[in-house]
Amino acid sequence: MDAKEVVLNVLEDLTGEDLSDQMDENIFENGLLDSLATVQMLLNLQEETGIQVPVSEFNREEWDTPNKIVAKVESLENE
């Protein structure tokens, strides 16, 4: 599975919505994720992809749309 597929699956599990047609929508401003769901998202992404995202280094502005999440996952996979 590629990063986009993984991200969309994780987000759908957490929000109950298919966000594939909302790749540039702000998931926090739209109320789709709160603080607890964000931590769960990071844990799920770590489990699915093997990336490490310390919560202390999490910058919400870098993770606020599905497209940004995909880009972050891809960059962390390539580290």
Q: Answer whether residue 22 shows pLDDT above 90.
A: yes
- pLDDT tens sequence across 36-74: 999 999 999 999 999 998 778 889 999 999 999 999 999
Prediction pTM value: 0.93
Domains of the chain: 3-78 (1.10.1200.10)
CA dihedral (40, 62, 60, 30) positive or negative = negative
Q: What pLDDT is attached to residue 78?
A: 83
Q: Where are the alpha helices (DSSP H) in the chain?
A: 3-15, 35-49, 66-77
